[in-house]
Amino acid sequence: MARDIAELYIQRADLQGREAECARLLRQMPGVLGAQMAGSDPESIELRVRVEFDPGATNPVVLREALERAGFTVMSAGERGGAPEKGPATRGLGLE
């Protein structure tokens, strides 16, 4: 199975206190293999969430739209190319 990585930059104010909701939403999406909160500057207004996904089942646009429908402000979303063929990246958002 091919794997890709999407990097989603979510407005910090929208995500704080709603990490579990974000995790549930991503976990329930078809094609999502894992997600993790990536480090960011504490002064930044955005937080980066890296989502590993099956490109045959979903894509960054679909991920962004689902998060926005749930009330998260996604400031940008993009694909990073193939992910290594190993276990899903699940640390940080309760997707273990």
pLDDT tens per residue across span 37-88: 876 677 888 888 999 999 999 999 999 999 999 999 998 877 766 544 444 4
Does 59 map to a domain? yes
Range of the structural domain that residue 60 is part of: 4-81
- Higher pLDDT pick, 59 / 90: 59
**Confidence at residue 77, expressed as pLDDT on a 0 to 100 scale:** 79
CATH number at residue 15: 3.30.70.100
- Whether the pLDDT of residue 34 is over 70: the answer is yes
**pLDDT band with cut points at 50, 70 and 90 for residue 1:** confident
Does 94 map to a domain? no
Does 68 map to a domain? yes
Based on the structure, what is the number of domains in the chain? 1
**Residue 25 is inside which H or E element, if any?**
helix 19-28
Does 69 map to a domain? yes
Does 38 map to a domain? yes
Does 92 map to a domain? no
